[in-house]
Amino acid sequence: MSGSAQNDAAGGAALRQAARFGGVVAVFAIVGPLVIAAIVSLVVGALGARLVDALLVWLDLGMLRAVVSYAAWLLAVVALRAAFLPALAAGILFGWIAIYGGRNAIWVAWIMAAIAVAGFVGFGLFVRPGLAALLILPVVSSWPQAAALCAVLGALALIASSLCWWLARPLHRVKQRS
């Protein structure tokens, strides 16, 4: 193979790697927040629906049923928006390590998701966001609150990162051509 052909092949391989990296990041950035929003909606729906129904019947406030429905949708949208940046960070970290580092096991995705959650909770512990950033960055006032938030968000991130890892498998499991 001539020098020019080797350079073209190397450029094509680098471009394929970059495209796979972008695909892994896109899977994490799109699927991750959707999974988090779905889990939050299911938990609120399962635990809160009976309580809200009982209160509406007991207080004879049937007209508020539509407001409760809108509140549930709003909570799902807020969860979707709040989960985007940590999911994007986890996707970038996992994509970098999986595509360029060759470590693409599921535990790597879990660790990257945990790092992203801890980073955003830690950032919220030390930085007080303005009103516009409240939906993106948590406001954490103490270390015990940070630990509890990391535990809850970490459990959600574990589920979301597992699904993202599985969906991105065709992208990060590609065998390198010699």
Would the pLDDT of 126 be above 80? Answer: yes
Q: What is the mean pLDDT of residues 142-156?
A: 89
3-state secondary structure the chain: CCHHHHHHHHHHHHHHHHHHHHHHHHHHHHHHHHHHHHHHHHHHHHHHHHHHHHHHHHCCCHHHHHHHHHHHHHHHHHHHHHHHHHHHHHHHHHHHHHHHCCCCCHHHHHHHHHHHHHHHHHHHHHCCCCHHHCCCCCCCCCHHHHHHHHHHHHHHHHHHHHHHHHHCHHHHCCCCCC
pTM of the model: 0.78
Confidence of residue 178 (pLDDT cuts 50, 70, 90): very low
Q: What is the pLDDT of residues 5-18, one digit of tens each?
A: 566 566 788 888 89
What value does the mean pLDDT of the chain take?
Answer: 82
Domain boundaries, the chain: 3-172
